Chains A and B, each alone.
Chain A
Amino acid sequence: MFIWSFIITLVVILTYAIFVVYAERKAAAFVQDRLGPVEVGPKGLLQTVADLLKLLQKEDILPTYSDKILFRLAPWLIFTAIFWGFTALPWVPGLIGSNLPSGIFMIFAVVSLDVIGLFMVGWGANNKYALFGAVRSIAQIISYEIPLGLCLLAVVTFTGTLNLQEIAQQQAIDSTFHSYLFGIPGIDVSAWGGIFTWNVIRFPILLPVAVLFFITTLAECNRAPFDIPEAESELVAGFHTEYSGFRFGMLFLSEYAMMLLVAILLVFLFLGAWSSPLPNVAGVHLYDWTSGTTGHWSSYAWSIFWLGLKTVTVVFWQIMLRWTFPRLRVDQLMHLCWKLFLPLSMLLVLASAIWKWFLIF
C-alpha cells in the first residue's frame, strides 16, 4: 500500500507543480488584466512543460568557490524533507503512506528539516544574496513555526488525536465522533455530515485558527507576502541565486510541493478532509449521494474529487494573495509573528481547550 501511496504522491506532486505554475501565471495575468501564457498548447496549457524541458537542458553550474558537497546535497535534502511530509497524508480513506499515530507531529518535524536544507543552500553557494536569503528564510520559518505549532495544538485539543487518518475520519459522517451545531452542546449534527461536521463549523473557535494557520503556512513556504527570502527586487533570487538547471528545478518543485502540502493539511485539519460538503438535511441525502459507498471505488473517486476541489480552492487563494499584497519588511514580519500571532495563537489554544472541556462534560 505504501508503494501506491508513494507513486500517487510523486505523480500528484509533479503534475500539480506543472499546472500550478501555469495557474499561477494565469491568475497573476488575470489579476493584472493581462492574458498570461497563450502560445504553447491550447490556451498556453503546455507552457510549463516547455519551460521544464528548457530548464532540464540548462547548464548545471557549480560555483567555483562554493561548498560543493552542501551545494549538491541541499536541493535533495529540501525535496526529501517536503516529500517526507506527504507520507502521513491519507489520500483517500484507507490509503496512507504511513499510518502514524502522531502524523501531524511527524509532518512538522520533518518539514522543519527544510530549514537545514535552506541554510545549506545559502551557505554552500558562497554568495552574499544566497546567504541573506537563507538567513531571512531561516529566521522566518523558525519564527512562524511557533504560532503554527500552537494552531495545530488548538486543532488537536479538539480532535484528540494526531493521526491525520483519524482526523479526516472524524469529519466524515460515519464517525463515532459527536458533532454539535456550531460547537454548542444541544443539536447533535453527527448524522448530518457535510459542512456541519467540518472542524471549522462544528467548533467555530477553529475559524480564526484556520486563518492563522493559512497565514503562517504562507510564511512557512516562503510565499508572498512573506517572500523576503527570495525577494527579487532586493536579493536577486534569494537563497537559490546560484542554482541553475535541474537543481534549481528541484528547489522550485519543493516550494510548490510545500504549497500543496500545507494546502492539503489545511483541508484535513479544518475543512472536512475528503468528505463532501453537502449535508444530509431534512431527508435529502445529499451527503450520501456525493460520497459513494464505503469501501467501493466510488467512495475513493468522490474522496479524491472533494479533496482535490478543496485543495485547489486553498491553493487558488494562496496564489491570489501573492498577486494582491506587497511584501512585508523584515521587521514587520517579525513583529507580526512574535507580537501578534504568538499571543493570539496562545489565546486560541486556551480558548479551544476550554470550549472542548464544555463539550466533553
Chain B
Amino acid sequence: MAVKHSTYRTNFIIIVGSLLRALFLAWKHFKSAIHRKKVLNIDDPAYFKQAAGVVTTLYPYESIPVPDNGRYRLHNEMEDCIVCDLCAKVCPVDCIAIDPIKSTVEIGKTSDGSTRRIYAATFDIDMAKCCYCGLCTTVCPTESLTMTKAYDYSEFDIRNMVYHFADLSPEESVVKRKEWDEAQLAKQAAKATPAVEVKTESTVAEGEAPAKPKPFIPKAMPPKVAIPIKKTEGDAPAASTEDKTEEAPKPKPYIPKAMPPKVVIPVKKEEPSTTNTESSSTPDETPKPRAVPPKIKIPLPKKKDDEAEKGGTVE
C-alpha cells in the first residue's frame, strides 16, 4: 500500500479504510475467543492446524505436555548407581556432592549387570546450581543418573533445591564406614605380619577407640572432588603407621580448601586443618569434632530424603 506521509489529507481515505479494517480484525479475534486452542505439544501433528482462538494455557491447571525425553530435573536411580563419582567430576558447576563408602562385600548388581561395591553416604544434587548441561547423564556408565521431565520444582527455601539420593542413613553410614575401616585394618594386619612394630601401634589405636580411624576418613572424604583414591591413602596410613600419617596430612589441608563448596560447616574445616598441621600426636581429640558434624547433618538428610522422594514421584 503506497502511503504518502507528506500530508494527512491525502491519506484520509486510506487511513479511514485501514482503521475500519483494524476494527474488523479486532472484532474477528473477539468473536473467535469462544474457541480455545487445545494445549498440545509442538510435535503434535495438529499443532499448527488449530483454528483461531484463545491461546492461553492456564498453567497450574493445565500444561503443555513435555516429551518423555524432556531434560529437566536430575534423578539418580540409586539401585543402579555404582558411585563411580564420574558425574561429580564432570559437572561444570559442581552441583553433585558424593560421599562414597566402600563396602566390604558386594552390595548387589545394577540392572545392567555392573557390580555395586560402594555405598553413597551422601549423594546430593543441588538443582539450584545445576546448569542442565546433561554431561553427568552422558558420563554415567550405568545410566542411573537421568534427566526427568519434571520441570516445576521451585522452592521457597533454596536448601530444598538440594536433592538427596544417598542409599545409607547417617547411622548406617557410620556402621558401614566402621566395617570398611576394620576390614582394611585386618587386611593391613594380614599383609604386614613381618612389620611387628606397626602392628602393635595399630592394635593400640584400635584398643583406644575404634572411632579414631573414622575421623581420618572424613578428612579424606570431604574432597568430593578429590576422589576416593585419596581416601584409600588416608585410610591406609591412619591404620598402619604414624609416619605415613605425617605424610598424609600435607595433601589433606589442601583438600579442605577445595572442600568448602561442600555444604558442610566451617567448624569442620578449621579443625581438620589444625589437627593436621600441628601434629598427629593428638589423634584422640580430632575424632570427636568430626564425629559431631555428621550428627548435625542427620536431621537435614532425613527431611530432604522424604521431599526428594515426593518430588521424584510427583512428575
A interface vs B, CB < 8 Å? Answer: 27, 29-35, 38, 320-321, 323-325, 332, 335, 339-340
Q: With the chains together, A41 CA to B26 CA distance in Å? A: 27
Q: With the chains together, A32 CA to B58 CA distance in Å? A: 16
Asked if residues B52 and A33 are in contact (CB atoms below 8 Å), the reply is: yes
Asked if residues B54 and A35 are in contact (CB atoms below 8 Å), the reply is: yes
Q: Taking the complex as formed, is B265 at the interface, i.e. its CB lies under 8 A from any CB of chain A? A: no
The 6 closest A-B pairs by CB, nearest first: A30-B33, A324-B26, A35-B56, A30-B30, A31-B26, A33-B55
Q: Find chain A residues with CB under 8 A from B29 CB.
A: 30-33
Q: A33-B33, A33-B52, A33-B54 are in contact. Are A324 and B8 (CB under 8 A)?
A: no
Q: Taking the complex as formed, is B53 at the interface, i.e. its CB lies under 8 A from any CB of chain A? A: yes
Q: Taking the complex as formed, is B19 at the interface, i.e. its CB lies under 8 A from any CB of chain A? A: yes
Instruction: State which of B27, B32, B55 has its C-beta within 8 Å of the C-beta of A320.
Output: B27
| Chain B residue nearest to A27 in the complex (CB) | B30
Instruction: State which of A29, A34, A323, A332 has its C-beta within 8 Å of the C-beta of B26.
Output: A323
Q: With the chains together, A33 CA to B57 CA distance in Å? A: 11
Instruction: State which of A33, A332, A335, A339 has its C-beta within 8 Å of the C-beta of B53.
Output: A33
Q: Taking the complex as formed, is B175 at the interface, i.e. its CB lies under 8 A from any CB of chain A? A: no
Asked if residues A30 and B54 are in contact (CB atoms below 8 Å), the reply is: yes
Q: Find chain B residues with CB under 8 A from A332 CB.
A: 8
Instruction: State which of B30, B36, B53, B56 has its C-beta within 8 Å of the C-beta of A31.
Output: B30
Q: How far is the CB of B181 from chain A (nearest CB, A)?
A: 59
Q: How far is the CB of A336 from chain B (nearest CB, A)?
A: 8
Query: Could you jot down 27 A-B contacts, CB within 8 Å?
Result: A29-B33, A29-B54, A30-B29, A30-B30, A30-B33, A31-B26, A31-B29, A31-B30, A31-B33, A32-B29, A33-B29, A33-B32, A33-B52, A33-B53, A33-B54, A34-B54, A34-B56, A35-B36, A35-B54, A35-B58, A320-B30, A321-B23, A324-B23, A325-B19, A332-B8, A335-B8, A340-B8
Q: How far is the CB of A350 from chain B (nearest CB, A)?
A: 21
Binary interface profile of B, 29-65, with partner A (CB < 8 Å = 1, else 0)?
1101100100000000000000011111010000000
Q: Taking the complex as formed, is B22 at the interface, i.e. its CB lies under 8 A from any CB of chain A? A: yes
Q: With the chains together, A31 CA to B24 CA distance in Å? A: 11
Q: Find chain B residues with CB under 8 A from A340 CB.
A: 8
Q: How far is the CB of A139 from chain B (nearest CB, A)?
A: 18
Q: Find chain A residues with CB under 8 A from B36 CB.
A: 35
- Residues in B62-112 with C-beta less than 8 Å from chain A: none
Q: How far is the CB of B21 from chain A (nearest CB, A)?
A: 10
Q: Find chain B residues with CB under 8 A from A30 CB.
A: 29-30, 33, 54
Q: How far is the CB of B187 from chain A (nearest CB, A)?
A: 67
Given A35-B54, A35-B58, A320-B23, output 17 extra A-B contacts at Cβ < 8 Å.
A30-B30, A30-B54, A31-B26, A31-B29, A31-B30, A31-B33, A33-B29, A33-B52, A33-B54, A34-B56, A320-B27, A320-B30, A323-B26, A324-B23, A324-B26, A325-B19, A332-B8
Q: How far is the CB of B34 from chain A (nearest CB, A)?
A: 9
| Chain B residue nearest to A30 in the complex (CB) | B33
Q: How far is the CB of A106 from chain B (nearest CB, A)?
A: 33
Q: With the chains together, A165 CA to B51 CA distance in Å? A: 49
Binary interface profile of B, 205-226, with partner A (CB < 8 Å = 1, else 0)?
0000000000000000000000
Q: With the chains together, A182 CA to B169 CA distance in Å? A: 92
Q: With the chains together, A321 CA to B52 CA distance in Å? A: 21
Q: How far is the CB of B193 from chain A (nearest CB, A)?
A: 78
Q: With the chains together, A354 CA to B58 CA distance in Å? A: 59
Q: How far is the CB of B298 from chain A (nearest CB, A)?
A: 42
Q: Find chain B residues with CB under 8 A from A32 CB.
A: 29
Q: With the chains together, A257 CA to B315 CA distance in Å? A: 50
Q: A30-B33, A335-B8 are in contact. Are A325 and B56 (CB under 8 A)?
A: no
Q: With the chains together, A33 CA to B23 CA distance in Å? A: 15
Q: Find chain A residues with CB under 8 A from B54 CB.
A: 29-30, 33-35
Q: With the chains together, A339 CA to B33 CA distance in Å? A: 39
Q: How far is the CB of A120 from chain B (nearest CB, A)?
A: 34
Q: Find chain B residues with CB under 8 A from A31 CB.
A: 26, 29-30, 33
Q: Find chain A residues with CB under 8 A from B56 CB.
A: 33-35
Q: Find chain B residues with CB under 8 A from A35 CB.
A: 36, 54, 56, 58
| Chain A residue nearest to B28 in the complex (CB) | A31
Q: Find chain A residues with CB under 8 A from B53 CB.
A: 33
Q: With the chains together, A33 CA to B31 CA distance in Å? A: 10
Q: With the chains together, A27 CA to B26 CA distance in Å? A: 10
Q: With the chains together, A140 CA to B58 CA distance in Å? A: 41
Q: Find chain B residues with CB under 8 A from A323 CB.
A: 26
| Chain A residue nearest to B23 in the complex (CB) | A324
Q: How far is the CB of B59 from chain A (nearest CB, A)?
A: 11
Q: Find chain B residues with CB under 8 A from A320 CB.
A: 23, 26-27, 30
Q: With the chains together, A31 CA to B23 CA distance in Å? A: 10
Q: With the chains together, A340 CA to B52 CA distance in Å? A: 38
| Chain B residue nearest to A317 in the complex (CB) | B23
| Chain B residue nearest to A332 in the complex (CB) | B8
Q: With the chains together, A56 CA to B28 CA distance in Å? A: 37
Chain B CB within 10 Å, residue with most, of A29, A324, A335:
A324
Chain A CB within 10 Å, residue with most, of B26, B53, B54, B55:
B26
Q: With the chains together, A323 CA to B26 CA distance in Å? A: 8
Q: How far is the CB of B57 from chain A (nearest CB, A)?
A: 10
Q: How far is the CB of A332 from chain B (nearest CB, A)?
A: 8
Q: A30-B54, A33-B53, A33-B54 are in contact. Are A324 and B33 (CB under 8 A)?
A: no
Q: With the chains together, A323 CA to B33 CA distance in Å? A: 15
| Chain A residue nearest to B36 in the complex (CB) | A35
| Chain A residue nearest to B26 in the complex (CB) | A324
Q: How far is the CB of A216 from chain B (nearest CB, A)?
A: 16
Q: With the chains together, A27 CA to B27 CA distance in Å? A: 10
Q: With the chains together, A332 CA to B5 CA distance in Å? A: 12
Q: Find chain A residues with CB under 8 A from B8 CB.
A: 332, 335, 339-340
Q: With the chains together, A355 CA to B26 CA distance in Å? A: 36
Chain B CB within 10 Å, residue with most, of A32, A38, A321, A332:
A32
Q: With the chains together, A29 CA to B29 CA distance in Å? A: 10
Q: Find chain B residues with CB under 8 A from A29 CB.
A: 33, 54
Q: Find chain B residues with CB under 8 A from A325 CB.
A: 19, 22-23
